């Protein structure tokens, strides 16, 4: 068992490499506002009149028929794991990359994302200001290098036939949840706990703040019974192996609720992942911006919602989410994006490179693997 007086060890642990560690090794091998005019070579007319095709590296569930109906078509290559984002950024052939709020810190060290002139995007202003103007999408020079297009909301789910709804983080430490909590198997859980404890930006989390989050997880250990992969929480709930999950994904959780209507959810100790489009190749700038602009239109957003079940960045497309009619989508559709991000702040991941007392991706991954090994 791991000593309950947790202390993050910054030395290598010799553990098997996880996806995040692979990402950080890739980084080590690498070289080094609305008014943003960036490095775009295109004019407004170029973007509006663009035609032809571009290549996109992204998650398959964001590909829609609507994207193929405009003057610019996309040839897709699919991401299969999170490290694929970095692999595509470094050596892929895509014009457009499906980046994310949690990958921006790592992508920033590669210096491959091209500045985007957002004034050339006619639908850009429809994105809520709180998301549009978030510094996550800016590079070190203040240029916008990513345009958000989809929102994945993590939720804390619980079986109300067995336990009561937790309303504070420390509720999870009580005997009511003993031996009944499942944790999504990712170091992002550490970040979520830290955010719930008041850390505003986990890419700048200090060692003391990190240790505080890990100490909470150590105290939580008697109540933890399982670590699960994407979608595996459904089976755990259905078998009665867990009574609470941290974190579940809305569209997947619906399957568990269909089997057990007593399962409910809230946004306790959660963060929200934002997917975005980034441009890798200025030679195809006009075509890329034309295609991106269509994906953030009301029609483009509705198509993405219909295909993926993600919460849209265009408010006019929220109706498509509520149209699903399931408990998770209906409840999320009743919230504005600002309300969601207030309760479940943007997931930013950990820093890719060490700077002062800041905890890095490598360190967080080692700590998470050590934590799991302590059971």
The 10s digit of each residue's pLDDT in 244-276 is 999 998 778 999 999 999 999 999 999 999 999
Question: 192-205 pLDDT, tens per residue?
Answer: 999 999 999 999 99
Q: Which of 274, 272, 306 is nearest to 62 (CA)?
A: 306
Pick the CATH number of 19-151+274-338 from 3.40.50.300, 3.90.1150.10, 3.40.190.10, 3.30.420.10: 3.40.190.10
Pick the CATH number of 152-271+350-373 from 3.40.190.10, 3.10.580.10, 2.30.38.10, 2.40.50.140: 3.40.190.10
The model's confidence at residue 6, banded by pLDDT at 50, 70 and 90, is: very low
Q: Where in the chain is the domain with CATH 3.40.190.10?
A: 19-151+274-338, 152-271+350-373
Q: Is 14 left (phi over 0), alpha (psi -120 to 50) or beta?
A: left
Query: Which 3 state secondary structure label does DSSP give 97?
Result: strand
Q: Which of 295, 322, 300, 298 is nearest to 309 (CA)?
A: 322
Better pLDDT: 225 or 9: 225
And the tokens for 241?
A: 């192996």
* CA angle 229–55–147, rounded 5-degree value: 70
Is-cis flag, bond preceding 247, omega within 30?
yes
pTM of the model: 0.87
Which residues, 6+ apart, have CB-to-CB distance to 167 below 8 Å?
Answer: 266, 268
Q: Is 224 left (phi over 0), alpha (psi -120 to 50) or beta?
A: beta
Model confidence at 44: pLDDT above 70: yes
């Amino acid at each position: 068992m791991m000593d309950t007086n947790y202390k993050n060890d910054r030395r290598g642990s010799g553990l098997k490499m996880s996806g995040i560690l692979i990402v950080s090794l890739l980084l080590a091998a690498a070289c080094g506002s609305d008014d943003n005019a960036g490095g775009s070579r295109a004019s407004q007319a170029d973007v509006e009149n663009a035609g032809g095709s571009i290549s996109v590296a992204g998650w398959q569930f964001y590909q829609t028929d609507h994207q193929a109906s405009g003057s610019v078509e996309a040839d897709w290559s699919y991401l299969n794991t999170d490290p694929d984002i970095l692999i595509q950024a470094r050596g892929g052939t895509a014009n457009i990359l499906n980046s994310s709020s949690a990958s921006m810190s790592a992508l920033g060290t590669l210096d491959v994302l091209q500045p985007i002139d957002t004034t050339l995007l006619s639908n850009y202003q429809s994105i809520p200001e709180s998301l549009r103007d978030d510094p996550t999408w800016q590079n070190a020079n203040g240029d916008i290098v990513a345009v958000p297009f989809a929102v994945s909301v993590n939720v804390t789910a619980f079986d109300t036939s067995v336990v009561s709804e937790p309303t504070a983080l420390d509720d999870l430490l009580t005997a009511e949840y003993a031996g009944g909590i499942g944790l999504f198997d990712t170091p992002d859980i550490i970040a979520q706990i830290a955010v719930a404890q008041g850390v505003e930006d986990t890419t700048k989390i200090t060692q003391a703040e990190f240790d505080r989050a890990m100490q909470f997880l150590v105290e939580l250990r008697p109540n933890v019974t399982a670590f699960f992969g994407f979608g595996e929480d459904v089976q755990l709930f259905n078998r009665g192996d867990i009574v609470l999950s941290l974190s579940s994904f809305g569209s997947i959780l619906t399957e568990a609720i269909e089997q057990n209507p007593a399962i409910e959810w809230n946004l306790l100790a959660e963060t929200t992942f934002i997917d975005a489009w980034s441009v890798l190749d200025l030679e195809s700038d006009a075509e890329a911006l034309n295609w991106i602009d269509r994906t953030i239109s009301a029609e483009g957003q509705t198509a993405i919602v219909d295909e993926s079940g993600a919460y849209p960045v265009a408010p006019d497309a929220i109706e498509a989410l509520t149209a699903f009619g399931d408990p998770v989508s209906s409840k999320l559709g009743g919230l504005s994006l600002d309300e969601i991000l207030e309760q479940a702040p943007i997931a930013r991941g950990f820093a890719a490179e060490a700077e002062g007392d800041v905890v890095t991706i490598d360190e967080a991954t080692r700590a998470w693997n050590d934590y799991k090994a302590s059971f």
